[in-house]
């Protein structure tokens, strides 16, 4: 019974804190790599391009899902009006 209460008490870390932690981790990893900044830039650009592609795919997927839900709702509304 105690375990159930503990599960409910889980607190999600705010996004702004997650972002700051990510920034700190990236800066630390870049510094620890001991690469010159001109070597890090192409790596970061590649990573950023991958993130942009993933974001575009996610956008299209979410848009398609939303449009399908709208169509289903329209069909349901038409069906309920004709009955």
- What is the pTM (predicted TM-score) of this model? 0.62
3-state secondary structure of 36: coil
Give residues with Cβ within 8 angstroms of 42, minimum separation 6. Answer: none
Residue with tokens 């069909």: 75
Would you say 40 and 33 are in contact if contact means Cβ atoms under 8 Å apart? yes
- Provide the number of structural domains found in the chain: 1
By residue range, what is the domain housing residue 32?
Answer: 2-82
CA dihedral 20, 22, 60, 67 (to 10 degrees): -50
Q: Report the pLDDT averaged over residues 16-36.
A: 95
Q: What is the pLDDT of residues 39-57, one digit of tens each?
A: 999 999 999 999 999 999 9
User: In whole angstroms, what is the distance from residue 55 CA to residue 20 CA?
Assistant: 20
User: In whole angstroms, what is the distance from residue 15 CA to residue 13 CA?
Assistant: 6
């Amino acid at each position: 019974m105690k375990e159930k209460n503990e599960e409910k008490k889980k607190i999600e870390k705010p996004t702004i804190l997650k972002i700051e932690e990510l920034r700190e981790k990236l800066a630390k990893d870049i510094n620890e790599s001991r690469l010159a900044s001109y070597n890090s830039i192409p790596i970061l650009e590649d990573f950023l391009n991958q993130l942009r592609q993933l974001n575009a795919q996610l956008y299209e997927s979410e848009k398609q899902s939303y449009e399908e839900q709208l169509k289903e709702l329209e069909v349901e509304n038409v069906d309920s009006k004709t009955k």
